[in-house]
């Protein structure tokens, strides 16, 4: 068995690599092991966020949009977001940048094709793990694994999406503006919409997304995606490049796991995703920065910082309304984005709202769907959970 590591990071995805990249100034004698089950890194996703002053890794941005739009069948809202553009980092660029930095550090070891085979356990002052490559031990454990299999009741709503990057034979897209939500009729408690990131007049990522109490597989989303693309491209012919699929929790129903002095659990299933939107990339970057600073100072690792009471309460109430009255959601989103000061909304969505921003968001929304849910919110009445676990 190899001598113990200073730290073991389980999972070399967004959270694991973001932390490891910031640990490259660790003294060389402090060895770090990253255990990652995938054998190779592919361009498997795109990360979008608002380019606010505090957004991190903006030098990796490959595309930015100066405006975004939302629409229902009879209404459209277009938001000028030049002050904090909607920005995208491709997974390919992020992986290349982080892996290059990590590979230059002699004491950070990335073990790809190596999966954890049982839960880590404590042995004296060490954490031990069993992997497909054998046993290892470390003083500190950072666990970034998502909770699998996904259990339906573990989130208030699930955001399931499936997308294709397509290239058309004629110009059909406006590359200056991203479509965040083009709503389709709400059915069976499902809130479906199409998301379009146009990279050029002929090329775009088109995604079919559903917010619903039950997570949906790529197969279940395939018909919606096909129809969504057809509506975007009209008569143009197109070829399909990269595809992506994801299922993100919106509002975890279990409290985030407690950090221990030498171990934390982080990532999308452990507080990394913003409850009301599923956005996680910048939250993960802020965690990675804070955790690396703590570790470099010789302190204990930190988990995701909890949201402020007011933000958490607003998200919870918003999700309750989406879940209880899905038919109102398209208009709620359009009201939200129709706010007079879009920068307030962008700061709110980027976890940086001031009290004035929160007030502006609250006043942009119609009161009555929320008033109707407040008694349930206060009495913490449980949702009826439909469906079972999915693989």
Applying CB under 6 A, the residues found at the interface with ligand FAD are 10-16, 35-38, 45-49, 115-116, 144-146, 244, 246, 248, 267-268, 272, 279-281, 284
Q: What is the 3-state secondary structure (H, E, C) of 253-296?
A: CCCCCCCECCEEECCHHHCCCCCCCCCCHHHHHHHHHHHHHHHH
* Identity of the residue, 267 or 330, whose beta carbon is nearer to ligand FAD in the bound complex: 267
Burial of residue 6 (CB within 10 Å: 0-12, 13-18, 19+) is middle
Closest approach, Cβ 106 to ligand FAD, in A, equals 23
Query: Quick one: DSSP state of residue 60?
Result: G
The rounded distance, in Å, linking the Cα atoms of 103 and 38 is 17
Give the nearest distance from C-beta 170 to ligand FAD in angstroms: 27
The CB-of-340 to ligand FAD minimum distance in angstroms stands at: 26
Output the smallest distance, CB 275 to ligand FAD, in A: 13
Residue 98 or 329 having the CB closest to ligand FAD: 98
Angle at 243 (CA atoms; ends 44, 91), nearest 5 degrees? 25
Question: Within 13 Å of residue 80, how many CA atoms lie on the same side as its CB?
Answer: 4
For residue 20, the minimal CB distance to ligand FAD (Å) is: 11
In whole angstroms, give the CA distance from residue 290 to residue 127: 22
Rounded to 10 degrees, the C-alpha dihedral 327/333/336/339 comes to -110
CA-to-CA distance for 107 and 195, rounded, in angstroms? 41
Residue of minimal CB distance from ligand FAD?
13
- The per-residue DSSP string of 115-134 comes to -B-S--EEETTEEEEEETTE
Q: How far is the CB of 351 from ligand FAD (least distance, A)?
A: 11
| CB nearer to ligand FAD: pick between 30 and 38 | 38
Distances, alpha carbon 267 to alpha carbons 86, 277, 331, 343, in Å? 22, 15, 31, 27
CB of 187 to ligand FAD, least distance (A): 24
Q: Of 15 and 33, which CB lies nearer to ligand FAD in the complex structure?
A: 15
| 37/152 with CB nearer ligand FAD | 37
- Confirm if 316 and 276 have CB atoms less than 8 A apart: no
Closer residue to ligand FAD in complex, CB, 218/300: 218
Nearer to ligand FAD, 6 or 351 (CB): 351
For residue 228, the SS3 value is helix
Record the tokens describing residue 110, joined without a space.
């990335």
Q: Which is nearer to ligand FAD, 288 or 328 (CB)?
A: 288
Count other C-beta atoms under 10 Å from residue 312's C-beta: 14
Minimum distance from residue 45 beta carbon to ligand FAD (Å): 4
């Amino acid at each position: 068995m190899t001598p113990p590591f200073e730290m073991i990071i389980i999972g070399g995805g967004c959270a694991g690599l973001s932390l490891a990249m910031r640990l490259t100034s660790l003294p060389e004698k402090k060895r770090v092991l990253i255990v990652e089950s995938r054998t190779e890194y592919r361009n498997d996703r795109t990360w979008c966020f608002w380019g606010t002053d505090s957004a991190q890794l903006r030098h990796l941005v490959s595309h930015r949009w100066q405006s975004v739009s939302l629409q229902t069948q009879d209404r459209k809202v277009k938001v000028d977001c030049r002050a904090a553009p909607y920005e995208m980092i491709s997974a390919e660029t992020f992986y290349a940048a982080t892996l290059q930095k990590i590979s230059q550090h002699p004491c950070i070891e990335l073990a790809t094709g190596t999966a954890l085979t049982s839960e880590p356990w404590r042995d004296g002052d060490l954490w031990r793990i069993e992997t497909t490559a054998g046993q290892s031990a470390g003083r500190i454990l950072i666990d970034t694994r998502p909770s699998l299999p996904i259990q339906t009741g573990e989130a208030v709503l699930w955001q399931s999406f499936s997308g294709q990057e397509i290239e058309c034979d004629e110009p059909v897209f406006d590359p200056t503006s991203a479509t965040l939500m083009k709503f389709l009729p709400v059915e069976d408690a499902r809130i479906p919409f199409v998301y379009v990131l146009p990279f050029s007049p002929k090329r775009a990522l088109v995604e079919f997304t559903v917010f619903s109490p039950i997570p949906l597989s790529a197969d279940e989303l395939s018909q919606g995606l096909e129809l969504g693309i057809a509506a975007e491209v009209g008569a143009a012919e197109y070829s399909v490049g990269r595809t992506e699929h994801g299922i993100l929790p919106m509002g975890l129903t279990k409290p985030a796991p407690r950090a221990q002095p030498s171990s934390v659990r982080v990532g999308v299933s452990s507080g990394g995703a913003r409850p009301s939107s599923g956005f996680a990339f910048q939250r993960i970057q802020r965690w990675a920065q804070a955790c690396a600073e703590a570790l470099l100072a010789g302190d204990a690792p930190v988990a995701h910082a909890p949201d402020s009471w007011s933000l958490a309460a607003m998200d919870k109430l918003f999700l309750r309304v989406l879940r209880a009255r899905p038919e109102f959601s398209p208009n709620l989103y359009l009201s939200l984005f129709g706010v007079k000061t879009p920068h307030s909304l962008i700061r709110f969505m980027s976890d940086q709202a001031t009290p004035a921003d929160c007030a502006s968001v609250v006043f942009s929304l119609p009161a009555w769907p929320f008033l109707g849910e407040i008694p349930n919110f206060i009495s913490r009445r449980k949702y009826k959970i439909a469906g079972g676990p999915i693989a």
